[in-house]
């Protein structure tokens, strides 16, 4: 297995990104040593005419079927909890995390992808209507059965993460060992996170970094690390929540670092994520071979210690 610290985001594969392009990107990623592939059972309901998800998993299933042996070379992450109950019902009404939903959704995800297990199964967002004990027990049942390798949580408040771990310890079952949240080199102003995102607790905060640093079994995955191309494209400005003096200073230093190294700002961001303490694995979405090549270059890049210190201290 490779030590390439990246997960390829397959969110739009099979919808906005057509099958031929998706297959080519997956092939390029695996040939380069890529291992983790990230999807969810609800991808991508917001762009599919049906208003429901599943297209990304189905495309991965077709790719696996046409690439004998490739399943043994990759690790699959998928998620449960955000599929709309009916078209247009998200976020107010989604499937949640009851035991029945988890059982049915995992069976469906495995069938779509034509595989017998997922390497990391994530609760896509917290479900406060279902007892946490029920959710923890349902996930751990599948870990014990071998249909789930690891359990993770996404878009969770940290106190709920720790409570889930405590329940798992009390029950003597497998608990979560991965957290997937939004994170990048820039941070929004305090208390306006919900204006930049539809998940109130879907952020890696300083507290969460400390938590992972002191609990090394908890691996951090960061989605939207390149902020939809805003580091490179003037036609994709950063959201208003990021408009503050800290962003101005961070971008100045980030640009200086990229110029000194002769790379793009996005490559520096990925190197900063993967080489930090604790290290963070970026989930990177791409739509072209050139974008993927830049992403791979970024996660392979090792920042000089002095440059990393300048990036860290720029506020």
pLDDT band at 196 (very low <50, low <70, confident <90, very high): low
Rounded CA-CA distance 140/151 in Å is 8
Question: Which among 276, 128, 307 has a CA at the least distance from the CA of 206?
Answer: 276
Residue 175 pLDDT exceeds 80: yes
Cβ atoms within 10 Å of 210's Cβ, excluding its own = 12
What would the pLDDT profile of 93-151 be if each residue is shown by its tens digit? 999 999 999 999 999 999 999 999 999 999 999 999 999 999 999 999 999 999 999 99
- What share of the chain in percent tops pLDDT 70? 98
In percent, the amount of the chain with pLDDT more than 90 equals: 93
Q: Check residue 199 and give its pLDDT.
A: 83
Reported confidence tier of residue 191, pLDDT bands at 50, 70, 90: confident
pLDDT at position 1 = 43
Task: Give a yes or no: residue 238 inside a domain.
Answer: yes
The pLDDT value recorded for residue 179 is 98
Mean pLDDT in residue range 56-77: 98
2 located within any domain: no
Query: What does the pLDDT look like over 1-12, one tens digit per residue?
Result: 457 899 999 999
Rounded alpha-carbon distances, angstroms, from residue 133 to 50, 70, 136, 141:
33, 36, 5, 12
Cα gap 172→175, rounded to integer Å: 9
Q: Would you place residue 190 in the very low, low, confident or very high pLDDT band (cuts 50, 70, 90)?
A: confident
Q: For the residues 244-250, what does the mean pLDDT come to?
A: 95
Mean of all residue pLDDT scores within the chain: 96
77 domain residue, yes or no: yes
Angle, vertex CA 22, rays to CA 19 and CA 24, nearest 5:
110
In a domain, 59, yes or no: yes
In the predicted model, what is the mean pLDDT of residues 244-257? 97
- pLDDT, tens digit, 9 for 90 and up, residues 210-235: 999 999 999 999 999 999 999 999 99
Helix (H, G, I), strand (E, B) or coil at 152: strand
Domain count, the chain: 1
Task: State yes or no: pLDDT of 86 exceeds 70.
Answer: yes
Segment 233-244, tens digit of pLDDT: 999 999 999 999
DSSP state of 13: B
pLDDT at 194 over 70: no
Mean pLDDT value of segment 45-71: 98
| CATH value at residue 74 | 3.20.20.100
- Extended strands (E) in 157-234: 176-182, 219-223
| Strand, coil or helix: 207 | helix
Whole-number Å distance between alpha carbons of 227 and 137: 35
Q: What is the pLDDT of residue 195?
A: 64
**Domain that includes residue 184, residue range:** 7-313
* 202 falls within a domain: yes
- Whether the per-residue pLDDT at 85 is higher than 70: the answer is yes
**Residue 1 included in any domain:** no
Residues 6 or more apart from 250 whose CB is under 8 A from it?
Answer: 185, 186, 311, 314, 315
Residue in this structure with the two tokens 């297959």, named with its chain if needed: 23
User: Peptide bond preceding 44: is omega within 30 degrees of 0, i.e. cis?
Assistant: yes
């Amino acid at each position: 297995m490779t030590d390439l610290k990246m997960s390829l985001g397959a969110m739009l594969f099979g919808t906005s990104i057509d099958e031929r392009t998706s297959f080519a990107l997956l092939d390029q990623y695996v040939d380069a040593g890529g291992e983790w592939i990230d999807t969810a059972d609800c991808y991508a309901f917001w762009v599919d005419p049906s208003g429901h998800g599943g297209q990304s998993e189905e495309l991965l299933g077709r790719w696996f079927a046409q690439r004998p042996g490739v399943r043994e070379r990759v690790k699959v992450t998928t998620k449960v909890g955000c599929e709309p109950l009916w078209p247009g019902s998200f976020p107010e009404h989604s499937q949640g995390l009851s035991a029945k939903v988890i059982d049915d959704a995992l069976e469906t995800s495995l069938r779509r992808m034509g595989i017998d297990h997922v390497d990391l199964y994530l609760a896509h967002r917290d479900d406060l209507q279902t007892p946490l004990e029920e959710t923890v027990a349902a996930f751990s049942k599948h870990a014990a059965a071998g249909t789930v390798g690891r359990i993770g949580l996404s878009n969770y408040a940290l106190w709920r993460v720790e409570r889930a771990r405590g329940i798992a310890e009390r029950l003597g079952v497998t608990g979560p060992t991965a957290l997937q949240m939004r994170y990048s080199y820039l941070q929004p102003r305090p208390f306006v996170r919900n204006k930049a995102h539809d998940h109130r607790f879907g952020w890696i905060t300083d507290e969460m970094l400390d938590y992972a640093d002191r609990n090394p079994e908890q691996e951090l995955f960061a989605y939207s690390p390149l902020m939809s191309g805003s580091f490179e494209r003037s036609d994709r400005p950063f959201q208003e929540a990021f408009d503050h003096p800290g962003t101005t200073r961070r971008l100045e230093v980030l640009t200086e670092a990229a110029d000194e190294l002769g790379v793009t700002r996005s490559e520096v961001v990925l190197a900063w994520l993967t080489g930090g303490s604790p290290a963070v694995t970026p989930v990177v979405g791409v739509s072209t071979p050139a974008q993927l090549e830049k992403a791979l270059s970024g996660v392979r890049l090792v920042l000089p210690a002095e440059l990393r210190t300048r990036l860290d201290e720029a506020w």
